[in-house]
Amino acid sequence: ARQVGSGNKLVGCAAYLQSNLSPRCLAKRQTDFLRQDILVDAYKHRAKSVVMLAAKRMGEEIKKGHSQPVAWNNCHMYLIKAAMAHCHLYCVESFFDGVNSTDASQPAVDALMSLCQLYAIFGISQNKGDLLQDGYINGEQIDMLERQLIDLLAIIRPIAVTLVDSYDIPDKMLSSVLGRYDGNVYENLYEWAKKAPLNKKEVPAAYKYIGPFLKE
C-alpha cells in the first residue's frame, strides 16, 4: 500500500493493488458469474479495497497521534481481513490456473471447472458484505450469484462420488469405516465395534461397582 502510494511499480502476487479494476461488477446475468474474469476481478477488487481500507485506517490512527505499534494494534480487525482477502484471491487464481493448464478430457475439465467456479462463487457469497459495502456489487447481482451457486450444486451432485474417488486414497490409508470405497458401512461399523477393548469381556471391570450397587 505504501509503495502504491509512492507510485513504485509493484510486481509479484500483490501487483493487483496497482491495477485498474472496474469500480462495479460487470455481471449482467446469472451465467456471467461463471466467467473467470468476472470472478477473479471480484476477488481482486475485494482484496484491494480491504487492503487499502486497512492502510487508510492505519494512516488515520497515526494522524491521531498514536505510535506505529499502537496504530497497528488498533487496526488488527482491518489488517487480518486484508491478509485473508489477499490469500483467498491467491487460492482462486491458483485454482483457475490449475484448471486451465490441464490436458484431461473435456468432461473431466468441465467437472474441475465447475468445482473451481463453485469455489469462487461460494467465497463471494460468504464474504458478500465486503463487496456490498462499497457498492461494487448490488443485491440483484448477489441474488444471481447465489442462484448460480445452486445451479452448480446440481451439476456437481451426480459426479460427487467420482470427484472424491479421484483423490485416489485407498481404504487402508483413509482408515474410515464410513468412507469405505465399497460403501458397506453398517456391517463394518458393527464389526469394528465388536473389536473395541471394552467388548473383550462380557462383564466389565466396572461391575465391581455395579453389582454391589444393584444389591443395596
Partner 1 sequence: INPDIAEERRNAKFDPVELTYVIDGGKEKTERRRYLESEVLNDPSFDDPMDISFMTDEQRHTNSVRKAIQVVRRTQELEISNPMELIWFRAATNPLEVPSLSLHTSMFMTTIVNQMTLEQRSQWESAAKKFELIGTYAQTELGHGTFLRGLETTATYDPRTQEFEIHSPTLTSMKWWPGNLGKTVTHAIVAAQLYTKGHCMGVHMFMVPLRSLETHLPHPGVELGDIGPKFGYSNIDNGFLRFNHYRIPRENMCMRHSQVMPDGTYVPPPHKKVSYGSMLPIRSAIVGNTGWALAKGCIIATRYSVVRRQSELIPGTKEAKILDYQSQQLKIIPNIATSFAFILTGKEMMKTYFDSLAEMNEGNFSSLPELHATSAGLKAFTSAVVASGLEELRMSCGGHGYSKASGFPELYTTAVPATTYEGENTVMFLQTARYLMKV
Closest distance of CB 213 from partner 1, Å: 28
Closest distance of CB 212 from partner 1, Å: 29
Q: Indicate left, alpha or beta for 183 from its phi (over 0: left) and psi (-120 to 50: alpha).
A: left
Judged by CB under 8 A, the residue of 3, 19, 22, 133 near partner 1 is 3
Interface stretch with partner 1, choices 32-40, 113-121, 130-138, 203-211 (CB under 8 A): 113-121
Name the grid cell of 75. 487496526
Query: In the complex with partner 1, which residue's Cβ is closer, 204 or 211?
Result: 204
Name the grid cell of 136. 461494487
Burial 181-209 (b: 16+ CB within 10 A, else e): eeeeeeeeeeeeeeeeeeeeeeeeeeeee
| Residues in contact with partner 1, shown as a per-residue x/- string from 67 to 86 under the rule CB under 8 A | -----x---x--xx-xxx-x
Instruction: Give residue 129's identity as a one-letter amino acid code.
Output: G
Instruction: Please report whether residue 115 would count as binding partner 1 according to CB under 8 A.
Output: yes
Instruction: Please report whether residue 58 would count as binding partner 1 according to CB under 8 A.
Output: yes
Closest distance of CB 157 from partner 1, Å: 6
Interface stretch with partner 1, choices 38-46, 129-137, 148-156, 206-214 (CB under 8 A): 148-156
Distance, CA of 142 to CA of 30 (rounded, Å)? 9
Site for partner 1 in 169-208 (CB under 8 A): 169-170, 172-185, 189, 192-193, 195-197
Tell me the number of residues near partner 1 by CB under 8 A: 80
Judged by CB under 8 A, the residue of 21, 32, 62, 122 near partner 1 is 122
Instruction: Please report whether residue 162 would count as binding partner 1 according to CB under 8 A.
Output: yes
Closest distance of CB 200 from partner 1, Å: 10
Instruction: Please report whether residue 21 would count as binding partner 1 according to CB under 8 A.
Output: no
